[in-house]
Amino acid sequence: MKLSSGYTIPDIGYGTFKTPDGEICVNAVREAIAAGYTHIDTAAVYHNEVSVGEGIRQSGKPREELFVTSKVWNTERGYDKTLRACEKTLKDLGMDYLDLYLIHWPANKLQFGDKAASINVDTWRAMERLADEKMVRSIGLSNFYPQHMEPVLATANIPPTVDQIEFHPGLLQKDTLVICRKNNIVVEAWSPLGRGHLLENPDIADIAGRRGRSASQIILRWVIQNNVLPLVKSVHADRIRENFNVFDFELTPEEMSTIAALPDARFGSNPDTAEF
């Protein structure tokens, strides 16, 4: 996918949320790159950036052939803290630039009242400086809904390129997709498999059985055909490869509609009510 920054982003990513630091993470990242992933997503709060960087180095893949994302955590919001947080992330990863840096969660009104918008804007100013100084190539948001995004869009000198949100069957996030597409913002899906809860859904299982595919492949294909970029995670080599193998088939309009009609479900935190 083409980003508004002019760079391109691989249209499936390998996520490292809850991947234990150390050998498990190093091996998983190395396996993902061997399977064909060139887009690796991590975050400071995952506490595994050192291992992610080591897995990348052990893969033998040249840095310029990879797309690496990280995120500034909530305790580091604000101008000065965000700059320092990015410096630490680069040091931990052993890299001199990031392809994409995101504000991990918006400051919300529940915690910060009327100050929430200004906190998000100040953090975004730091993101713009990081982009200007070439420490990061593209900057974006994560878990921002329209009400969080609008103050940033209204004041930004560099517009967000990405919004990474919980998106999967049962959580379609239509309002957020509308504002993102209006502003040329690529939408990424975290937990596209509903943290595994959707893999046993009978409607998805029925489509998977008829197609000779796994349930995860059906769901990831559905995400991609919604023009959303899935970030998928496993530490098992066979599943890592399976989840990447989703580009040689298409779901029918009827199958897409069946999956889109699944009951409402949210498996992560709501950005408006998050207290962390």
What one-letter code names the amino acid at 271?
A: P
Which whole-number Å values give the CA distances from 217 to 42, 183, 193, 214, 256, in the listed order? 22, 29, 9, 5, 13
Catalytic residue among 37, 46, 101, 145, which? Answer: 46
Q: Which two tokens stand for residue 226?
A: 């919604």
DSSP character for 276? -
Q: Which two tokens stand for residue 68?
A: 């690496």
Query: Is 7 an active-site residue?
Result: no
Cβ 20 vs Cβ 48: under 8 Å? yes
CA proximity to 81, closest of 72, 71, 92: 72
CA proximity to 210, closest of 255, 268, 243: 255
Q: Which two tokens stand for residue 97?
A: 């630039």
Distance between CA atoms of residues 182 and 161, nearest Å: 12
Q: State the distance between the two ends of the chain, measured CA to CA, in whole angstroms.
A: 32
Q: What residues contact residue 247 under an 8 Å CB cut-off, 6+ apart?
A: none
Neighbours of 157 (CB within 10 A): 9
Residues marked active site are found at: 46
